[in-house]
Structure 1
């Protein structure tokens, strides 16, 4: 098969399906996207419940949160006859979203041989092998359970990518205290450079590097793992900044590790535009041989006509859809639908009633001063027996006294009427989470096509348990050893 020209659309079945899926998602969001754009806090102020389809509200008023939780997770047990339009929407979302089951084999992969379903799961034997498996308790010191799990999975995948790309060097962007870097360096014997702006985190990382190496050496006298290098470098968005960063990183790998074979890029939940910057860096720099990133904080993406935008990135979306996503839609796509539904199913949603409390309080604040709409309030944890008055007193403590709700305010008949509708507020918040996977899929498909258009063969697959790590879909691309990037300059901003 002849090589595809960079900048043209890939004709493989997977990329063709993704472009079609993007078109379908945008059409559905034109109908139901308003729910994602709406803020739950405005539920009463904007009379949101009246905007939801009448057949839905009539039905949902009679359904329990427990039944809704089961239905959203597509679990059996409900004997209710759900509205056909809701059933159709659920079937559509299931057909177009990126599957979130990390145990499944479903994987979107751009390839000339048209292979969509590829299983590259790490085996149990591989998990137990090596220093990382033998002395797991040493590596997990200082690390919380969620991060420990993510590091275990991502370090193994990154090591496989490094082997496939023919390089032993990895750059961890936003490395923090270096937990992932130590797993890669000491557990997989890779050369790792950590880029972190916070000097305090850098110092802590260096200290823990040394402590871990000393601990391992007590058990393995001939241990040869190389300590990660922690540096503070600018990860810029311009082409000149990316080139400077590539030169700096190459210099460090040559000086510290005597290796000039190139490096891989990893990012465990890079925030907002950082993920897009890493993708552009990978695409434009020949020394960058592979990339593994799990996105996060989509609401912080720069959108629109800005050349430094984080969304959309692909020419397909720019030329054919350019579907704009609101801050609210991007923000709700960062939440865990599985954990939310688990609470609904278990009738453990007392803390979720805070949505209703906040929506009622919004009306009181706007009545006192319209400029207080969407005001930043103090955060508080709501308990089972927390009253609305107690809630208001706690979260408005940072406001001027004249703006804080009075006893008469919170005990008015209007407020009591609103509070009785707490279930409607909860259901609307749940509906937003139900539709939100369309947003995350759209953002990740856009990144997939961006790499595909540059002939960089991306793949997308859920690799983390979504109940442990809600943003669980990994975007991976590995360059062939013969790849040349000389034609990319005109296609990468």
Structure 2
């Protein structure tokens, strides 16, 4: 969707808002209430007749596959962002990624040293995102990357050791930071061994790893507080623990989960001097830089990274977040907009259901919410997204389509849970929508085994008498449950599109250029859209990543259809 203007993106968001407002009964319906609230009966009769007898493979073809020959999927596909990855690599005929063809656990395009402790999905993601971060950092003249929500440090590790970028990794959970530092240390030892054997040259990898900070990045905090978090020194009063990616055998005090070594004092002093002298805002020093930071950027040199004294951050900073959860992805955007030091971001979001939204019962300041961000979307009728709608936007539509095609036994899971809900409410009508801890391999159980395990987990008698005949009757409607869920899932990419368009419009309202890139293969990584923004022209960095898409025209607004109808209206009675 490259090259769209602010007005075109606003028009797109408005069309989605109209479309979703019409189908709240699909977006907001909890699947566990399929039987208790007769969700099937909420569908138009023509839809019921068309869907009732369809097999799972037919549902995949009708609703989820890409060719928009029917009205329903034509509307959803026209409104949703394209999710197919760019041409590099690709999926083979058997559905596997080319990079995993030799070994499903190891990406052939990622060096073996960076595959240790990393699942295949993450291997695919860190390699792709790191390349984009490196390209963007070169464009923005930015030699310092801050990885927000860094977890076990897989992305930070590859950026620092593999791509020679100074990295600060920020993670709230000290246990994950301890693990990340341990993995960093293991990698350093492996790199030294490979160098000693002569299999690596000195320029292949960097022995300087990321600097780790334990702390919470608050989207509502002023940007000065964010920079203060990044600049914390070890043992500073009240500061979060800091760990460096350079190691010796001794551990730091227990208040810090990481390691350190004595820095080379001359190198550190040189780094501080160079940092202070570096010019980055249109050739001016930082003291002369504009508050907005939107003017042209002139790159600073790579510089060394001093582990004993955190960087002064007088040079440009790039923020990145790989599947930063909920409002954490919003924090990247807010600090990019507000902080003159932050000159670029790459943000891959996840867990949309954890976004903060305006509370109608206790009104909150919209400026403190994670959705909507933009002034435009917040003013659109019908823009509101329930928890259920936002949770649905996180589902892996490509994976579900494959399960439909294969008629996987896992398709029965939603039916089992809806059956369990009828038993729970019959036993105690006051108990509704209880959280049931995941029942592993539930599709391999009989419905009675599943229900008794579920009853035990919600504190009810697992040995209570069950009406087997009634439950078997409900199980006979399993295909209707699958069809209803497929309908709801058809709308999931449209919901995600509205959330991401809201973020793009927010950035454009502030005067910044931004793009969305389907960077990962969606069959491997369902949240595969990367939001990229910079306070400089993005075109030189993104030429190979961008996909083009024609903007919506008012006369072809998929939210309206012919004569003001939605494309999901079915005048013929049998077509969706």
Query: Given the two structures, how large is their TM-score scaled by the length of structure 2?
Result: 0.71
Give structure 1 stretches of 5+ with no counterpart. Answer: 1-11, 77-81, 106-123, 125-131, 482-493
Question: Hey, what does 1:190 align to over in structure 2?
Answer: 165
Aligned residue for 1:168? 143
Match of 2:395 among 323, 326, 335: 335
Counterpart in 2 of 1:5?
Answer: none
Partners of 2:417 and 2:109 in 1: how far apart? 49
What are the equivalent positions in structure 2 for 1:59-458 lying under 5 Å apart? 59-74=50-65, 87-103=70-86, 136-217=111-192, 218-219=194-195, 220=200, 222-223=202-203, 224-240=206-222, 242-249=223-230, 255-256=309-310, 260-304=314-358, 305-307=363-365, 308-321=368-381, 323-348=383-408, 350-382=409-441, 386-402=445-461, 404=462, 406-407=464-465, 409-411=466-468, 413-458=469-514
- 8 A contact 2:371–2:499 mirrored in 1: yes
Equivalent of 2:5 in 3, 14, 20: 14
CA drift of 1:13 comes to 4.5
The offset of 1:231, in angstroms, is 1.0
C-alpha distance in 1, partners of 2:119/2:401?
A: 24
Larger Rg over CA atoms: 2
Deviation at 1:264, TM superposition (A): 0.5
What's the counterpart of residue 6 of structure 1? none
Q: Please tell me whether the aligned partners of residues 130 and 159 of structure 2 are also in contact (alpha carbons under 8 angstroms).
A: yes
Structure 2 residue 100 is the aligned partner of structure 1 residue 46: no
Moved over 6 A (4+): 132-135, 251-254
CA distance, structure 2, for counterparts of residue 161 and residue 44 of structure 1: 51
> Relative to structure 1, is the Cα distance of residues 461 and 363 closer, same or farther in structure 2, using a 3 angstrom cutoff?
same
Q: Distance in 2 between matches of 1:365 and 1:263?
A: 53
Asked if the contact 1:165–1:290 (Cα under 8 Å) also holds between the matched residues in 2, the reply is: yes
Structure 2: runs of 5 or more not aligned: 89-98, 100-106, 234-304, 538-576
Report the TM-score, using the length of structure 1 for normalisation.
0.82
User: Are the equivalent residues in 1 in contact too, given 2:389–2:495 (CA < 8 A)?
Assistant: yes
* 1:480 paired residue number: 536
Of the structure 1 ranges 378-387 and 366-375, higher mean CA displacement relative to structure 2 is found in 378-387
**Larger helix share, 1 or 2:** 1
Separation in 1, partners of 2:315, 2:169? 18
How many residue pairs end up in the alignment?
A: 432
Deviation for aligned residue 1:168: 0.7
